[in-house]
Amino acid sequence: MIALTIAEIAEATSGRFEAGDSGDTAETVVDGAATTDTREVEPGGVFVAKRGEFDDGHRFAPAAAERGAALLIVERRLDLPVAQVVVEDSVDALGALATEVVRRVRALGSLRIVGVTGSNGKTTTKNLLRTVLDQVGPTVASRKSYNNEVGAPTTMLELTAETRYLVAEMGASGVGEISRLIRMARPDVGIVLKVGLAHAGEFGGIERTVQAKSEMVTDLLPTDVAVLNVDDPLVAPMAGRTDARVVGFGLGERADVRASDIVVHARGTEFTVAVPGGESARVRFSVLGEHHVMNALAATSAALELGVPLPVIVAGLEQVTLAEQWRMQVLGGRDGITVINDAYNASPDSMAAALKTLAQVRTPGSRTIAVLGEMSELGDLSGEEHDRIGLLAVRLGISQLVIVGDGARRMHISAINEGSWDGESTHVATDDEAFELVTALARPGDTVLVKSSNAAGLRHVGDRLGEWFA
């Protein structure tokens, strides 16, 4: 974090300074990292005591003090020797502090901000952009999937006076949440990747999802750029909701930044990218899955708008070998058995994309095994969407389905009810049963996909299978 006095932090957060026994005063300067997790507290840092649904961060403030926190942001005065700023709401204070830090770094004149949202692909696109932009200037980007009202401002607080680019992943589970994040750090370039059924149950339907994702571009200025997936019929119309200049990416003729000649294989994906002005390049992309080409196009579009030359962008894309842990992560290798662990999260769109990739990378004479768990947060659409994925697995000719948990059972029922299928489906109740079944079933040369929502926890099954077949 940039250096601020405790008085400046108190003013930014509308808080009240309370001195501890350390001798710190309101003029004491703090420049350590800010966090809501005591495990991440470093000497000289700031600990924000956040109240959660099931716990209260104030309980962990003594641990933060022991780890060397220089300042606590709290909602009540604590009997601890560390300097404190007492605020009305810690999460609001975190956002207010992030807003002030962004404002100050912006005032230095060199910071450019990219916002990324969409139902799928945010983290991959953010990671690709970070790698590309790191080649041309100091870049801060969200760690993991830090994209909510806590994670996003925590990332913003990592800015320093030297930071040239901020890539802010902005997620939402309801209308108004992206707008809140944009008020902290308004993007120069706003990206909307896709509008799908991820979290549709929380949003209250696809129309509300569209409204929420549109918030990325509705407040952009005419001098800003909206980067839109023009292949998505729900994203493309957002061009009419923004005053910003629009750059479209996709596979079709409408796209300004377009991919063609896509080849998917077990080592990744190759494609040709064409950009405005007639320039093009072949990209040898190590990230597995044709669907990640769209994320690469979004990153390319944003980087071009920030002045990065196409050869530099391609070099950055080709450096990335993994989108993120548990996202199309290739493991295994013994006896030619490949495990693809894509179980960090799942929506109907990403589940379909992963199954299509599994079918594409199979080698002649080999089999495909899909270990699938529940897709959560779909609300009233859950049943029919699980049915649809079961039928898709049949149409793609997946050799063996292993469906895990009661929440995913309809995928199994739909698959076995499809009489033309010559594959098999087995439903099991637990992760351990899934692991034991796959290790017994797998043959040399097989490819195994593990896919589910984060809540289903199958990513750990994927890790176990990767180690077993290493």
Burial class (CB in 10 A: 0-12, 13-18, 19+), 274: middle
The verdict on whether residue 123 carries a ligand-binding annotation is yes
Mean of pLDDT values over 342-360: 90
Q: Give the Cβ contact number of residue 391 at 10 Å.
A: 16
Confidence of residue 201 (pLDDT cuts 50, 70, 90): low
Confidence of residue 200 (pLDDT cuts 50, 70, 90): low
CA distances from 5 to 10, 30, 156 (A): 9, 6, 18
Residue 94, token pair as written in the block: 């975190």
The verdict on whether residue 118 carries a ligand-binding annotation is yes
The verdict on whether residue 347 carries a ligand-binding annotation is no
Among the listed ranges 147-151, 162-166, 442-446, which one has the minimum average pLDDT value? 147-151
The verdict on whether residue 160 carries a ligand-binding annotation is no
Confidence of residue 203 (pLDDT cuts 50, 70, 90): low
DSSP letters for 78-117:
-SSSSEEEE-S-HHHHHHHHHHHHHHHHHHTS--EEEEEE
**Averaged confidence pLDDT in the chain:** 92
The predicted model scores a pTM of: 0.85
- CATH architecture of the domain 108-319 equals 3-Layer(aba) Sandwich (3.40)
Confidence of residue 456 (pLDDT cuts 50, 70, 90): confident
Q: What residue type is assigned to position 88 of the chain?
A: E
Q: What is the dihedral of CA 454, 331, 390, 426, to 10 degrees?
A: -100
**Domain 4-88, CATH:** 3.40.1390.10
Nearest-10 crossing angle of helices 382-395, 348-361: 10
pLDDT of 233 reads 94
The verdict on whether residue 229 carries a ligand-binding annotation is no
Nearest alpha carbon to residue 343 among 328, 330, 323, 358: 328
pLDDT in tens, 50-71: 987 778 999 999 999 999 999 9
The verdict on whether residue 466 carries a ligand-binding annotation is no
Report the run of H or E that residue 449 belongs to, with start and end. strand 447-451
Residue 257, token pair as written in the block: 């930044």
3-state helix, strand, coil in the chain (%, to 5): 40, 20, 40
pLDDT of 430 reads 95
The verdict on whether residue 445 carries a ligand-binding annotation is no
Report the run of H or E that residue 352 belongs to, with start and end. helix 348-361
| Residue 160 dihedral angles phi and psi, to the nearest 5° | -125, 175
pLDDT in tens, 7-25: 999 999 999 999 977 788 9
Q: What is the dihedral of CA 141, 142, 145, 147, to 10 degrees?
A: -120
Residue 80, token pair as written in the block: 């601890």
| Residue 201 dihedral angles phi and psi, to the nearest 5° | -65, -40
Locate CATH 3.40.1390.10 in the chain.
4-88
Residue 91, token pair as written in the block: 């999460």
CA distances from 156 to 172, 216, 370 (A): 17, 17, 38
Residue 392, token pair as written in the block: 């898709």
pLDDT of 432 reads 95
Say which CATH superfamily domain 329-468 falls into: Mur ligase, C-terminal domain (3.90.190.20)
Please say whether the beta carbons of 324 and 289 come within 8 A: no
Q: How far apart are CA 329 and CA 342, in angstroms?
A: 6
